């Protein structure tokens, strides 16, 4: 029996027996033995509802304002179910005769989609910013104009059906290893505006490898996750040798008391690496990010499917594809737990071209089909 220890209503757990509880492997669910009066035998299967609500069968369950319920499922009560995977839990909508749908939460091992995404295999679109203050190419453009263009990209991505977006200072080439203070300030303003306008989780990537800035921006603006190119180990990049600083980033997140998730690259693109990708994945896993990213050799370059397989064999963390995903090769990444796309969504596949709504919709549709095939 699995109990959500972050439940808002104590009535979910108040009938638990007076025995010692212990924390399950997913760090969030508690394992207890249910009372016999509740008609569940020790060792049996019991699902405890989290964010559950009654909704009509033809409507999407409300996962935000729903009341928490504890529901025991019997095999003859379930007509059908569907679910969305979240790191440490499976949120399922289960159809009960005469009751409609209940959204439930089940503690499972090795789930491959991380919070804050609400669906399996999330599609994350890139918002590439132009040159910002502090960069070599900045020409004095007004921040309000840059924000307006970024919001336009966000609107196109959201209307096309993406499940998340990453704001990145892509136009700041040649990159500094760590972003100048004026760049961090400008990105904070822009990300704040994007978060306020977003209906999907927003992430931050501060190039070339400023995880401290990314987490700080996310904590200040309400962004949900960050991407860190060199989270641990060493990469030989066009900016020189870059060392990871996983401990510093985890300490910062703890001090800021924020729940910003960290996606860490394994063998980040535009870099050379001394270890095998298996060794890099193993090391990344032990440094405690929330998910991993596997990419090709450069922006828009195809990710070798065999690299996805190798990384998946070394970790139970969600693994995202970080470059080169197209509709015609999507099926080769069926084992991936999410997709980060940028170049393919742009006019003519050009990096600095505008995002095209039809291309976003087509990619989102292809990902939806891939989910159905699982």
CATH of the domain at 130: 3.20.20.70
* Separation CA 195–CA 321 (nearest Å): 23
Output the CA–CA distances (angstroms, integers) from residue 260 to 38, 65, 115, 332, 362, in the order listed: 38, 22, 9, 30, 30
Diameter of the chain measured on Cα atoms: 72
Question: Are both 55 and 131 inside the same structural domain?
Answer: no
Helices marked H in the chain — which ranges? Answer: 143-160, 181-197, 211-221, 246-256, 277-286, 305-312, 357-373
Instruction: Examine the fold and report which residue of 53, 75, 106 is the final residue of a domain before the chain moves on.
Output: 106
Predicted confidence at residue 2, as pLDDT, reads: 46
Residue matched to tokens 């931050």 = 204
The residue segments making up the domain with residue 186 are: 123-373
Q: Is the dihedral of CA 229, 331, 26, 50 positive or negative?
A: positive
Look at residue 306 and tell me if it is in a domain. Answer: yes
Same domain (yes/no): 27, 174: no
Instruction: Kindly state whether residue 291 falls inside one of the protein's structural domains.
Output: yes
Domain boundary among 106, 131, 149: 106
Residue at which a domain ends, from 106, 133, 165: 106
pLDDT score of 114: 67
Are residue 58 and residue 102 in the same domain, yes or no? Answer: yes
Is the residue at 112 inside a domain?
Answer: no
Task: Round to whole Å and give the CA distance between 289 and 272.
Answer: 21
Please check whether residue 118 lies inside any domain of the structure: no
Same domain assignment for residues 170 and 93: no
Lookup: tokens for 262:
């960290």
Both 55 and 156 in one domain: the answer is no
pTM given for the model: 0.72
Burial label, 22 (beta-carbon count in 10 A; 0-12, 13-18, 19+): exposed
Q: Based on the domain organization, do 27 and 131 belong to the same domain? A: no
Tokens of 314: 């070394």
Residues 87 and 127 placed together within one structural domain of the fold: no
**Dihedral class, residue 85 (left if φ above 0, else alpha if ψ from -120 to 50, else beta):** beta
**Does residue 70 sit in the same domain as residue 140?**
no
The answer to whether residue 117 sits within a structural domain is no
Which residues, listed in sequence order, are joined to residue 216 by a DSSP beta bridge? Answer: none
Same domain, 362 and 223: yes
Domain co-membership, 292 together with 185? yes
249 shares its domain with 321: yes
Residue 304 lies in a domain: yes
Under DSSP, the state recorded for 203 is E
pLDDT, tens digit only, all 374 positions of the chain: 444 434 433 333 333 334 333 333 333 344 333 443 333 444 444 444 433 333 343 444 444 433 344 444 443 443 333 343 334 444 444 443 443 444 444 443 344 456 899 999 999 999 999 999 999 999 999 999 999 999 999 999 999 999 999 999 999 999 999 999 999 999 999 999 999 999 999 999 999 999 999 999 999 999 999 999 999 999 999 999 999 999 999 999 999 999 999 999 999 999 999 999 999 999 999 999 999 999 999 988 899 999 999 999 999 999 999 999 999 999 999 999 999 999 999 998 888 899 999 999 999 999 999 999 87
- Whether 131 and 176 share a structural domain: yes
Do the domain assignments include residue 244? yes
Residue at 297 is within a domain: yes
Burial class of 120 by CB neighbour count within 10 A (0 to 12, 13 to 18, 19+): buried
Helix axes of 143-160 and 181-197: crossing angle, nearest 10 degrees: 40
Q: How many domains does the chain have?
A: 2
- 3-class SS at 292? strand
């Amino acid at each position: 029996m699995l109990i959500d220890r972050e439940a808002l209503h104590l009535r979910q757990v108040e009938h638990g027996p007076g025995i010692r509880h212990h924390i399950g492997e997913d760090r969030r669910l508690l394992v207890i033995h249910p009372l016999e009066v509740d008609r569940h035998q020790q060792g049996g299967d019991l699902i405890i509802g989290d964010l559950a609500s009654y909704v009509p069968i033809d409507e999407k369950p409300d996962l935000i304002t729903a009341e928490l319920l504890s529901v025991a499922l019997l095999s003859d009560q379930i007509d059908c179910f569907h679910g969305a995977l979240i790191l440490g839990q499976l949120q399922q909508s289960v159809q009960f005769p005469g009751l409609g749908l209940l959204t439930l939460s089940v503690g499972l091992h090795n789930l491959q989609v991380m919070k804050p995404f609400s669906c399996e295999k999330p599609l994350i679109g890139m918002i590439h910013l132009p040159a910002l203050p502090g960069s070599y190419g900045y020409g004095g453009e007004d921040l309000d104009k840059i924000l307006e263009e970024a919001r336009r990209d966000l609107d196109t991505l959201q209307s096309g059906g993406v499940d998340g977006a990453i704001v990145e200072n892509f136009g700041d080439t040649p990159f500094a290893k760590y972003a100048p203070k004026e760049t961090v300030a400008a990105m904070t303003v822009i990300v704040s505006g994007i978060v306020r306008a977003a209906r999907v989780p927003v992430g931050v990537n501060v190039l070339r490898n400023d995880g401290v800035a990314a987490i700080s921006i996310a904590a200040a603006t309400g962004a949900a996750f960050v991407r860190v190119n060199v989270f641990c180990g060493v990469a030989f990049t066009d900016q020189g040798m870059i060392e990871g600083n996983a401990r510093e980033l985890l300490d910062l997140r703890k001090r800021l008391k924020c729940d910003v998730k960290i996606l860490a690259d394994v063998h980040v693109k535009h870099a050379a690496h001394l270890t095998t990708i298996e060794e890099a994945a193993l090391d990344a896993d032990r440094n405690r990010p929330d998910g991993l990213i596997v990419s090709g050799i450069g922006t828009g370059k195809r990710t070798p499917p065999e690299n996805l397989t190798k990384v998946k064999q070394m970790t139970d963390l969600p693994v995202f594809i970080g470059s080169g995903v197209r509709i015609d090769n999507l099926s080769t990444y069926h084992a991936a737990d999410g997709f980060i796309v940028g170049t393919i969504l742009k006019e003519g596949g050009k990096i600095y071209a505008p995002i095209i709504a039809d291309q976003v919709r087509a990619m989102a549709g292809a990902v939806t089909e891939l989910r159905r095939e699982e």
